[in-house]
Amino acid sequence: MNDSIWTRQRRSAPSRETLSQDQIVAAAMTILDTEGLSGLSMRKLAGRLAAGATSLYWYVDTKDDLIDLLIDEVWGEIDVPEPELAGWRAGALLFGHSIRAAVLRHRWLPEVMYTRPSIGPNAMKLGSRGLTLFGAAGFSERDTDLAMSSVMSYVLGTVSAEVATREMARASGTSEDAWVKQIVEQADALAADYPAMHESVRRRTAVDLNTGLTENFVFGLDALLDGLATRAER
């Protein structure tokens, strides 16, 4: 693996430079949140900061470096409760919801979060606090690793699918309600010969898209934590 911004020795910017890494990350985050990955370029970022593109390279060597900084910034937004305050089960529930909320704020994240290892300071802090939280359930050290990994895999996988669904609705050029109505009409026609599926489609679309996606997430996370609680008791 090539070295990363986290392992590479940093250069000192000239004293005349007025930019900071925090300013660069904040401006890049705004671009990503409004325009997505395709809208981010070093030239556009420099323009937003009213700086020359060369100024950015004192802080980030490549666009990949910038993405690493942005991913780690998102990990820093996630709440990992102390088990002494919430208990491990309630804390894990809040942890899962906090991850989902962060990804929904930054919908570009699923496109890049698996392309480079997350080894920045915020990722390390999140991991350390998460292990403390899940360790409070009484798991062995190995099972603590796996319990935390299972919750993160469920949450990130489910919210990534949610982001894709919401993006399909947005790309349709209609409202979410109108898009769901079109899908229901198509599914109704195709599921007519399958009564169980037909009724399932009806149940799932009896609520608006946001409510349905949230219910799906909550049910799955609760079920997973129920299973982990039972395993911890054993």
Number of helices and strands in the chain (H, E): 12, 0
Tokens of 140: 């062995």
Is residue 148 within 8 Å of residue 134, measured between CB atoms? Answer: yes
Q: Which fold has domain 78-233?
A: Tetracycline Repressor; domain 2 (1.10.357)
Convert 3-39 to b/e letters by CB count within 10 Å (16 or more is b): eebbeeeeeeeeeeeebebeebbebbbebbeeeeeee
Distance CA 34, CA 93 (A): 29
> Is residue 1 scored above 60 in pLDDT?
no
Tens-place pLDDT, residues 17-30: 678 889 999 999 99
Q: Structure pTM?
A: 0.89
Q: What is the mean pLDDT of the chain?
A: 90
Q: Name the amino acid, one letter, at 184.
A: V
User: What confidence tens digit (pLDDT) does each residue in 131-150 have?
Assistant: 999 999 999 999 999 999 99
CATH architecture for segment(s) 21-74: Orthogonal Bundle (1.10)
> CA-CA distance, 71 to 67, in Å (whole number)?
6
Q: In terms of DSSP H, where are the helices of 77-175? A: 83-86, 88-105, 109-112, 121-135, 141-171
pLDDT at 91: 97
Interatomic CA distance for residues 20 and 23, integer angstroms: 5
Query: What are the residue boundaries of the structural domains of the chain, listed by start?
Result: 21-74, 78-233
